[in-house]
């Protein structure tokens, strides 16, 4: 694999800076904390880190509301700290990707402060402004993902502005060429600084329907989606017009042309649309994004059939595009709890990590997945997420997956000399890094073992994939390329399973660190509870 193609099949470790390591005692993680633990990350065997936003922000949405795209927020450190991070990561062989939130800014951004003053200033059309209906109501029926209408009244202009998320996150008007040019210049700033890639937040939200047409209603039985509270009106409509517009494709091509001037950089798009798999295929075609990921494996759906159907559907439409898969991130409940329940076993966490890293595509691993952390139960009085506060108790928000990473079993988890910004549950301290380092059977040890083993089988990094029809609870597929074929089978349940697959002449592969299946004659397989089988065909 050439260095410019490092992203193909890469395992990317997501760092949520607020919750990684605090070095100044304010209870919030920072860039120096990441620098201090880069050796730990490199030792996992991952290829890259993705750092969630650390830019200047009022933190209404914890950094996804940016007030200055080129400045590090003092909460996290300085630009010099970031340069140190970049230098050390590269010395350790790690690539560095950073979040870029292009579709909207903070209402504290200088662009918006100017735009909201009048209808005739130089930035007047840089955001999405619209007149009220004659009765004073908003210009259309679009809803905010965080609840309520997606329009807020600005008396200085006598108009509404659009926000697909919080009212303090106004949407930029990407129909304006100056907005696109300024956005690309902000991206260029970080490419010039030496970053290796961009994770593009909500990238399909850049453009809106210029005619501001109403979204059509969605039937009750179809009102489901990533992280929606049952009573969130965002789920009540098809989002055909407030995102995923055809004009966005040309912008992606502009962005790709810029990145191509910096060989070895890669763009990963976060995509959430009415048909995210189809949009991912469209957005990763030649000349657009290098790879894309959606939320299909970040839902509550968990079965071999669902996994097989999801991967197959994306592969069928992907063509030359490249997928990226994730089971957890900073926006959804942690996967051991989401798919295994409150009492999920470490064995399930080990299996899911291995399964994820065996799929065709790149992989995003969220900090704590290597420890098998369950979702934290954060009490209402400790909540910080505005989404969870608004929809409590039907939906508890995103704080449960954002609690600080436990480094030790001490009360503060070895995270901070001060009071952590979110409480660290006792269950997490029992799974701390220091604790798992001493346990040869830990999820952490298994994660490292599997990634080392995977590195010796390039077909698992870049080979083609063919899903096999298997009964529940077994997921099985072949990976193939360069004359090699490998069978991978995973028992998603806590009980042993026997089955027969149409394989012949297979040779069992060992050393992956999971409870290993047995391979008999004529394709007979036995998989132990939460066990896996890898065989060369």
Assign residue 511 the CATH number of its domain: 2.60.40.1180
Q: For residue range 80-90, what is the model confidence (pLDDT) as tens digits?
A: 999 999 999 99
**Residue 231: is its pLDDT beyond 90?**
no
Identify whether residues 34 and 84 lie together within a single domain. Answer: yes
**Residue 181: is its pLDDT beyond 70?**
yes
Positive or negative CA dihedral for 429, 430, 431, 435? Answer: positive
pLDDT at 324: 97
- In a domain? residue 477: yes
* Ramachandran bin of 530, using left for φ above 0, alpha for ψ from -120 to 50, beta for the remaining angles: left
Q: What is the domain range of residue 515?
A: 464-536
Taking alpha carbons only, the member of 501, 500, 502, 485 closest to residue 537 is 485
pLDDT at 229: 62
When pLDDT is averaged across residues 274-293 and rounded to a whole number, the result is 96
Domain end call among 400, 430, 453: 453
Is the preceding peptide bond at 393 cis, omega within 30 degrees of 0?
yes
Domain end call among 403, 424, 453: 453
Q: How far apart are CA 461 and CA 447, in angstroms?
A: 16
When pLDDT is averaged across residues 222-232 and rounded to a whole number, the result is 69
Q: For residue range 323-348, what is the model confidence (pLDDT) as tens digits?
A: 999 999 999 999 999 999 999 999 99
Q: Which helix (H) or strand (E) holds 101?
A: strand 95-101
Domain end call among 453, 487, 521: 453
**Residue 410: is its pLDDT beyond 80?**
yes
> CA 174 from chain center: how many Å?
24
pLDDT at 3: 84
Identify whether residues 449 and 507 lie together within a single domain. Answer: no
- In a domain? residue 121: no
Identify whether residues 12 and 95 lie together within a single domain. Answer: yes
- In a domain? residue 170: no
Identify whether residues 327 and 379 lie together within a single domain. Answer: yes
Identify whether residues 428 and 472 lie together within a single domain. Answer: no
pLDDT at 415: 98
- In a domain? residue 171: no
How many structural domains compose the chain?
2
Identify whether residues 415 and 522 lie together within a single domain. Answer: no
pTM above 0.85, yes or no: yes
**Residue 498: is its pLDDT beyond 90?**
yes
Helix, strand or coil for residue 52?
coil
pLDDT at 2: 66
Q: Mean pLDDT for the chain?
A: 96
Identify whether residues 246 and 375 lie together within a single domain. Answer: yes
**Residue 228: is its pLDDT beyond 70?**
no
Identify whether residues 530 and 408 lie together within a single domain. Answer: no
Residues classed as catalytic: 201, 270
- In a domain? residue 166: no
- In a domain? residue 115: no
Higher pLDDT, 372 or 225: 372
Assign residue 436 the CATH number of its domain: 3.20.20.80
Helix, strand or coil for residue 216?
coil
Q: How many CA atoms lie within 13 A of 507 on its CB side?
A: 3
Identify whether residues 206 and 79 lie together within a single domain. Answer: yes
Taking alpha carbons only, the member of 151, 204, 206, 215 closest to residue 173 is 206
- In a domain? residue 147: no
Taking alpha carbons only, the member of 129, 173, 169, 126 closest to residue 146 is 169
- In a domain? residue 112: no
Identify whether residues 436 and 473 lie together within a single domain. Answer: no
Identify whether residues 230 and 300 lie together within a single domain. Answer: yes
Identify whether residues 446 and 468 lie together within a single domain. Answer: no
């Amino acid at each position: 694999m050439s260095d410019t193609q490092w992203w193909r099949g890469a395992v990317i470790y997501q760092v949520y800076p607020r919750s990684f390591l605090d070095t100044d005692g304010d209870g919030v993680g920072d860039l120096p904390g990441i620098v201090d633990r880069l050796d730990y990350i490199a030792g996992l065997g991952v290829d890259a880190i993705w750092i969630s936003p650390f830019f200047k922000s009022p933190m209404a949405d914890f950094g996804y509301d940016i007030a200055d795209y080129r400045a590090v927020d003092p909460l996290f450190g300085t630009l010099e700290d970031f340069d140190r991070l970049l230098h050390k990561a590269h010395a350790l062989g790690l690539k560095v990707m950073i979040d870029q939130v292009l579709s909207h800014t903070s209402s504290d951004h200088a662009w918006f402060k100017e735009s909201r003053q009048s209808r005739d200033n130089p930035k007047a059309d840089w955001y999405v402004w619209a007149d009220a209906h004659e009765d004073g109501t908003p210009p259309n029926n679009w809803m905010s993902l965080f609840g309520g209408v997606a329009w807020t009244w600005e008396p200085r202009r006598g108009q509404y502005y659009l926000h697909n998320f919080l009212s303090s996150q106004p949407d930029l008007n990407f129909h304006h060429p100056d907005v696109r040019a300024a956005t690309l210049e902000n991206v260029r700033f970080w490419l010039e600084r030496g970053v290796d890639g961009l994770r593009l937040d909500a990238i399909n939200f850049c453009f809106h329907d210029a005619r501001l047409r109403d979204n059509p209603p969605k039937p009750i039985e179809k009102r489901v989606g990533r992280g929606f509270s049952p009573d969130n009106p965002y789920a009540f409509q098809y989002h055909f017009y407030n995102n995923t517009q055809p004009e966005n494709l040309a912008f992606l091509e502009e962005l790709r042309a810029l990145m191509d001037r910096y060989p070895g950089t890669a763009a990963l798009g976060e995509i959430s649309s009415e048909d995210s798999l189809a949009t991912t295929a469209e957005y990763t075609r030649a000349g657009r994004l290098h790879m894309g990921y959606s939320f299909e494996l970040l839902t509550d759906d968990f079965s071999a059939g669902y996994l097989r159907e999801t991967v197959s559907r994306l592969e069928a439409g992907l063509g030359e595009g490249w997928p990226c898969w994730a089971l957890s991130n900073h926006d959804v409940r942690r996967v051991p709890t989401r798919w295994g329940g409150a009492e999920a076993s470490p064995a399930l966490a080990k299996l899911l990590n291995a399964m994820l890293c065996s799929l065709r595509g790149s992989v995003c691993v969220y900090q704590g997945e290597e420890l098998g952390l369950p979702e934290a139960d954060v009490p209402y009085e400790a909540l910080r997420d505005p989404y969870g506060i608004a929809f409590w108790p039907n939906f508890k928000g995103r704080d449960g997956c954002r609690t600080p990473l436990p480094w030790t079993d001490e009360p503060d988890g070895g995270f901070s000399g001060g009071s952590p910004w979110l409480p660290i549950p006792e269950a997490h301290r029992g799974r701390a890094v220091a604790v798992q380092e001493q346990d040869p059977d830990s999820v952490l040890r298994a994660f490292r073992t599997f990634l080392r083993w995977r590195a010796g089988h390039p077909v698992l990094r870049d080979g083609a994939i063919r899903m096999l029809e298997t009964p529940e609870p077994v997921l099985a597929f072949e990976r193939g390329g360069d004359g090699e074929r490998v069978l991978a089978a995973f028992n998603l349940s806590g009980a042993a399973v026997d089955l027969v697959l149409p394989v012949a002449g297979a040779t069992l592969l060992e050393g992956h660190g999971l409870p290993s299946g047995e391979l008999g004659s004529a394709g007979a397989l036995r998989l132990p509870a939460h066990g896996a089988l890898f065989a060369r065909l």
